[in-house]
Amino acid sequence: MQDLNTGNTFPDWDEEEEPHYSLRLFITGASPVSVRAVSNIKTICETYLPGRYELEVVDIYQQPLLVEDENITAVPVLIKKFPLPRKKLVGDMSDTHKVLKGLGIR
């Protein structure tokens, strides 16, 4: 594709290209449920989104301002920031089918 203003060429946009996921998981320290949630979401991401995700793990005790900014009312909670629409999934992420559906992954 060519930019009509500058004449520069760019590769064509591939609409079939898989999106990159930006995720944020809120946990409560090293509790068993938090450890399980981190392990489960990492396994899901490595299995279904290899190389296409960014996962930020936030301990609510260490970053309370982020909790307030995101309006967190339950933990653990996973927030899908991108691709849109934003979504929140609550729990230890042990139900892979539910997590995949929530993330919009087929």
pLDDT for position 17: 76
Domain parsing of the chain, residue ranges: 21-103
pTM above 0.85, yes or no: no
According to DSSP, residue 4 is labeled T
Q: Which CATH entry fits the domain spanning 21-103: 3.50.30.50, 1.10.3720.10, 3.30.9.10, 3.40.30.10?
A: 3.40.30.10
pLDDT for position 12: 47
| Beta-carbon contacts of residue 99 (< 8 Å; ≥ 6 apart) | 40, 41, 44, 78, 89, 93
What proportion of the chain, given as a percentage, has pLDDT over 70?
A: 85
- The residues pairing with 23 across neighbouring beta strands, listed in sequence order, are 55, 80
Strand residues in 10-90 grouped as ranges (E): 21-27, 53-59, 77-82, 87-90
pLDDT for position 14: 47
What does pLDDT average to over the chain? 88
CA pair distance 58, 75, nearest whole angstrom: 11
Exposure string (b/e) for 63-89, b if CB count within 10 Å is 16 or more?
eeeebeebebeebbbbbbeeeeeeebb
Cβ–Cβ under 8 Å, residues 24 and 70: yes
pLDDT for position 18: 84
